[in-house]
Amino acid sequence: MSEKGLSGLWYDKTKKWELVELPVYQPDDDEIVVRVTATGICGSDLHITRGDGRDENSPERGPLAMGHEMTGIVHSLGKKVKTDSLKKSLKEGDRVIFPFFFPCISCYNCIRGEFGACKYRSRIPYADFKYCNSGYSQYFVLRKPHIIFHSPKNLQDDALVSLNCALAQVVEAFNVGKINFGDNIVIQGAGALGIYATAVARSMGANEVIVIDGHESRLELAKKCGASKTINISDINSAQDRIDCVFDFTDGIGADIALEVVGFPAVVEEGLKMVRMRGKYLEIGSIAENSFINIDTNYLVSQQIRMTNFQHYDPWIIPKCADFLERTSDRFPLTSLVSHRFKLEDINEAFEKSDWLGENADKTITRAMIEP
């Protein structure tokens, strides 16, 4: 009898997760199966389960096997797999970190070294691969070609769950966006991505790090992670007033770089107006379909604003992020961002409490994780 694992599947029709038992995949010679030990609830997962950008005419999706902010241990190895991607010996039972996507290594983008932009990097959907295989499952399959690294021994799962999405994503954005020493940075949103971005910007030599959010508890955490100024949208509820605050904080110049990690179109429109002439706007948050913005393109041209958009990252960033967490553990509380833990059996409760727009939202949650 084949081994079974528990998996969470999302259904649009009921707007609920259902738990099912599915076969555990037997890896081919070059593949790895990971026993998932923790998965963070990412804002992008909440956008999907809320149905952001969809209406009553949108076709039903799924069921969907989701979850990507994860870490775990090696469950089984293909017979050709002897080492991780840094050529360190790898065996069953080792704790590991890894990108959750799979660059093909041979397309136009990949041969240019743009692995995060590989058009073929996506996971196989549940409809085509009915195994226990997602972050909100007990197992995840690293198919070939995969990239994998040993977890730092002194970092626990709650420190690692957001590494392969939230932290890696903002490092990619700032690496491409090129923070210069003394730059003034605006960060729109103080969820996990925003908190990580605050610490990274501070560590890269930023001058002012201005963080915008509507929850005071998140803004207080941002201050502990390097924010020099904060703007609470609950207190300053006019977009123009917030824009004025940014210019006041930067001696009338504006932000050298603004980073968007909220995911609502109006935020983009506002953030672009916080950027100085020839400044840069880095867009990460808009993952929901039909997220349209209303901006005068003449404004972008006349202000010469450089806008760059990001989804995924180059895999070398993963071990560098682990190094960053270790190196700054005494400076920033990044290894303790997870405030709530839920069992896989309680995934519906976990999503209800984590959804900051829902009626049952728990405002004390900074980051929740599932322990499959």
Kindly tell me if the per-residue pLDDT of 51 is higher than 90. no
The arithmetic mean of pLDDT across residues 128-152, rounded, is 96
The end-to-end CA distance of the chain, in Å, is: 22
- What pLDDT does 133 receive? 97
The arithmetic mean of pLDDT across residues 265-274, rounded, is 94
Six-digit token string for 42: 């990412």
Six-digit token string for 258: 């603004």
Q: Express each pLDDT in 185-227 by its tens digit.
A: 999 999 889 999 999 999 999 999 999 999 898 999 999 999 9
**Taking every pair of C-alpha atoms in the chain, what is the biggest distance, in angstroms?**
69
Q: Express each pLDDT in 313-365 by its tens digit.
A: 999 999 999 999 999 999 999 988 898 999 999 999 999 999 877 888 887 88
- What pLDDT does 153 receive? 93
Residues 154 and 67 occupy one common structural domain: yes
Kindly tell me if the per-residue pLDDT of 2 is higher than 80. no
- What pLDDT does 180 receive? 95
- 1 pLDDT band (50/70/90 cuts)? low
The residue range of the domain holding 146 is 4-161+338-371
Residues 9 and 156 occupy one common structural domain: yes
Residues 136 and 9 occupy one common structural domain: yes
- CATH number of the domain bearing residue 64: 3.90.180.10
State how far the alpha carbon of 89 is from the alpha carbons of 81, 141, 150, 255, in Å. 9, 19, 9, 45
| Residue 333: inside a domain | no
- 59 pLDDT band (50/70/90 cuts)? confident
- What pLDDT does 33 receive? 98
Torsion sign across C-alpha atoms 250, 256, 261, 265: positive
Residues 204 and 87 occupy one common structural domain: no
| Residue 111: inside a domain | yes
Cα(39)–Cα(158) distance, integer angstroms: 9
Cα(237)–Cα(257) distance, integer angstroms: 22
Residues 66 and 124 occupy one common structural domain: yes
Of 42-46, 94-98, 296-300, the range with the highest mean pLDDT is 94-98
Q: How many domains does the chain have?
A: 2
Residues 38 and 153 occupy one common structural domain: yes
| Residue 332: inside a domain | no
Residues 139 and 22 occupy one common structural domain: yes
State how far the alpha carbon of 364 is from the alpha carbons of 216, 223, 337, in Å. 11, 17, 12
Q: Give 370's strand partners.
A: 39, 342
- What pLDDT does 187 receive? 98
| Residue 177: inside a domain | yes
Q: Express each pLDDT in 142-177 by its tens digit.
A: 999 999 999 999 999 999 999 999 999 999 999 999
Q: What is the mean pLDDT of the chain?
A: 94
Residues 140 and 198 occupy one common structural domain: no
- What pLDDT does 254 receive? 98
Residues 205 and 277 occupy one common structural domain: yes
| Residue 331: inside a domain | no
- What pLDDT does 147 receive? 95
Kindly tell me if the per-residue pLDDT of 287 is higher than 90. no
Kindly tell me if the per-residue pLDDT of 58 is higher than 90. no
Cα(3)–Cα(27) distance, integer angstroms: 13
Residues 152 and 176 occupy one common structural domain: no
State how far the alpha carbon of 145 is from the alpha carbons of 7, 28, 165, 299, in Å. 24, 12, 19, 43
Residues 133 and 249 occupy one common structural domain: no
Percent of the chain exceeding pLDDT 70 equals 100
| Residue 316: inside a domain | no
| Residue 320: inside a domain | no
| Residue 348: inside a domain | yes
Residues 87 and 229 occupy one common structural domain: no
